[in-house]
Amino acid sequence: MPENAEHHNDDAANENAAPEEEAVKKKIKVEKPDQSAKDDADILSEEREGFSDPLEFLSAELDRVEAEKAELQEKTLRIAADMENLRRRTQKDVADARTFSISSFAREMLAVSDNLQRALQAIPQEARDGGDEGFKALIEGVELTERSMMQALEKNGVKRISPLNERFDPNFHQAMFEIPNDKVPNNTVLQVVQDGFVIGERCLRPAMVGVSKGGPKQPANTPDAKDSDGADETANEDG
């Protein structure tokens, strides 16, 4: 019996001590500041160094934020401009690819067309007039083939240029020789040896021409005068 009473007293003492321990722990926790709050306070204290007035500190912080905002806006505008330029370049590249993708093939077809024309030109007129029906049909077939080929090229953006009596343009013409003539402006195309071809705005094959020499010259500050100088140099090199 005394032994049970002793155990009972120990349990009661433990129960009374538990609330006291909890109170001590809470007191210690309240007295010990939170580490994160202390760190934030230290950072804020460091940022405020050199500023005696809190309003001065806030004004400086506002200026800093505004500067960062302006920098980010500038970067955003620059990126937007770069993307717009990339979009335009891509559109141009796609358009050029569609227009000029057949350039090499078109040049090969022009060579075939030239051979067909040479074959037709090699036939004497007497043979054309006096030939039998089979021979005439052959000539007509070659002519039809050449015309069909040129029509197919035109549908794909290839155009013929024959610059007779036009101002020489070194971008689209090739001067083969000079023709003395003082009645027309200098470097006027007086003879076309071979037609040229363009695809879009690019020269596919320059027209081979003969240009005038000895006529009046254009003023030195005009684009035509520069073209004329180019024709002189080209013709002199060919000569």
From residue 215, give the alpha-carbon distance in Å to each of 55, 183, 210.
Answer: 84, 6, 14
Q: b/e map of 119-144 (b: 16 or more CB within 10 Å)?
A: eeeeeeeeeeeeeeeeeeeeeeeeee
- Predicted TM-score (pTM) of the model is 0.54
Tokens coding 8? 């009972």
> What span, in angstroms and rounded, lies between the C-alpha atoms of 120 and 139?
7
Q: What is the pLDDT of residue 52?
A: 66
Q: What is the pLDDT of residue 173?
A: 95
> What span, in angstroms and rounded, lies between the C-alpha atoms of 14 and 86?
80
Q: What is the pLDDT of residue 200?
A: 83
Q: What is the pLDDT of residue 206?
A: 94
Q: For residue 8, how many other CB atoms are within 10 A of its CB?
A: 10
The CATH architecture of the domain made up of 159-238 is: Roll (2.30)
Q: What is the pLDDT of residue 44?
A: 54
Q: Are 192 and 163 in contact (CB under 8 A)?
A: yes
Q: Give 4: exposed, middle or buried? Use CB within 10 Å, 0-12, 13-18, 19+.
A: exposed
Q: What is the pLDDT along the chain (239 residues), one digit of tens a residue?
A: 445 544 445 554 455 555 555 654 555 454 444 555 555 555 555 555 556 677 877 888 888 899 999 999 999 999 999 999 999 999 988 887 877 888 888 989 999 988 998 888 888 888 888 778 888 888 899 999 999 999 999 988 899 999 999 999 999 999 999 999 888 898 899 999 999 999 988 899 999 999 998 878 754 545 444 444 555 554 444 44
Tokens coding 17? 């001590």
Detail the DSSP E strand segments found in 95-236.
Answer: 158-161, 173-180, 189-194, 196-199, 202-205, 207-213
Domain ranges of the chain: 103-156, 159-238
